[in-house]
């Protein structure tokens, strides 16, 4: 039986890191050593049993340094790779710090109809009992699975397949860090098979209205975080910096302090789109009477960092609040 053909794009992160010793699982960044994707694959030769692998070099960088420029480059790279009719799937290795943001950005902007699976690790590839090898292997197995088609962009860590829209990192160091709080994972990469149990219903790649391939930058969208006695200083600073949108990471289930509310009302009066999310990390913010009075939009169940990405992309196609509200209900 033909093995699947899977491309692996390496972007850096912990999975590409080499620590001082095999017991260095915390301060490995101090070595400033990030290896390329070909060397990662060489460290775990078992992956060749799962697929015919095409290593695709990319800049090896820590994930906090990844943003729009890298998202666009990855979209273009995925477009080019998908021209190969024999390619079954694509894996992107990535640091876990901002993986959920890159995954969601790709989930909304990739135009190629091919499975894309993002993998990383909580421990560097050089560490005793690193999760890097198995995560890479299972990501390749998942990307090469026929059942992965139509699922949008996924993440694979700790044997769990998660939807990019829903997944978030929940622990600094634990292996089980990636969780989808409201709905759980899509499936599992077990020792005998890759098995899916549900599909994402919200609209996703490649069938989206967003196209970042020809734009130089996203509209500026910032996040203000709710806390006791917040007086709106941050919101006004973002407004002065030219923000086109602001996401409020509000008190659960979706509100902000009086001072913050006043500043955000001012933002709306000046044509800035304000979206109300919650710092809780789970559950919907809904279109309450208060939100309507303030002129704020609801983020549904997107966490603040995901709401920021969707609002940024929405602002590339419309500034109409009703249309942006539709987008948040669609994606």
What are the pLDDT digits (tens) for 178-227? 999 999 999 999 999 999 999 999 999 999 999 999 999 999 999 999 99
The answer to whether 211 and 109 have CB atoms below 8 angstroms apart is: yes
With tokens 């490649």, the residue in question is: 206
Active-site option among 11, 14, 93, 285: 14
What are the pLDDT digits (tens) for 233-275? 999 999 999 999 999 999 999 999 999 999 999 999 999 999 9
Question: CATH number for the 221-330 domain, one of 3.40.50.880, 3.30.870.10, 3.90.226.10, 3.40.50.40?
Answer: 3.40.50.40
CB atoms within 10 A of CB 291: 19
Q: Which tokens hold the place of 231?
A: 């007086």
What are the pLDDT digits (tens) for 136-145? 999 999 999 9
What are the pLDDT digits (tens) for 11-67? 999 999 999 999 999 999 999 999 999 999 999 999 999 999 999 999 999 999 999
Q: Which tokens hold the place of 107?
A: 């989930």
Please state the pTM of the whole predicted model: 0.96
Enter the CATH code of domain 5-196. 3.40.50.1170
d(CA 176, CA 188): 13
The answer to whether 67 and 61 have CB atoms below 8 angstroms apart is: no
Confirm whether 14 is a catalytic residue: yes
């Amino acid at each position: 039986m033909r093995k699947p053909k899977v491309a692996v794009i390496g972007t850096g992160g912990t999975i590409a890191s080499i620590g001082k010793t095999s017991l260095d699982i915390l301060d490995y960044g101090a070595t400033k050593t990030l290896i390329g994707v070909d060397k990662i694959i060489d460290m775990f030769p078992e992956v060749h049993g799962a697929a015919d692998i095409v290593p695709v070099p990319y800049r090896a960088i820590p994930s906090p340094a990844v943003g729009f420029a890298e998202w666009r480059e990855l979209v273009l790279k995925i477009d080019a790779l998908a021209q190969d009719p024999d390619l079954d799937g694509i894996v992107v290795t990535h640091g876990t710090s901002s993986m959920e943001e890159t995954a969601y950005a790709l989930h909304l902007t990739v135009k190629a109809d091919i499975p894309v699976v993002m993998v990383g690790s909580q421990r560097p590839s050089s560490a005793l009992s690193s999760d890097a090898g198995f995560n890479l292997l299972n990501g390749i197995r998942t990307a090469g699975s026929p059942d992965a088609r139509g699922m949008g962009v996924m993440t694979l860590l700790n044997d769990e397949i998660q939807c990019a829209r829903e997944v978030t990192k929940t622990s600094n160091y634990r292996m089980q860090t990636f969780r989808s709080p409201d709905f759980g994972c899509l499936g599992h990469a077990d020792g005998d098979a890759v098995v899916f149990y549900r599909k994402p219903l919200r609209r996703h790649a490649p069938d989206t209205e967003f196209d970042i391939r020809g734009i130089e930058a996203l509209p500026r969208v910032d996040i203000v975080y709710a806390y006791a006695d917040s007086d709106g200083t941050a919101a006004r600073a973002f407004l002065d910096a030219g923000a086109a949108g602001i996401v409020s990471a509000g008190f659960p289930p979706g509100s902000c302090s009086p001072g913050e509310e006043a500043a955000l009302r001012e933002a709306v009066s000046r044509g800035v789109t304000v979206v109300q999310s919650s710092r809780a990390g789970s559950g919907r913010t809904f279109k309450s009477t208060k939100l309507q009075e303030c002129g704020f939009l609801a983020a549904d169940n997107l966490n603040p960092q995901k709401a920021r990405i969707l609002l940024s992309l929405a602002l590339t196609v419309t500034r109409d609040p009703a249309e942006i509200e539709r987008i948040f209900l669609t994606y």
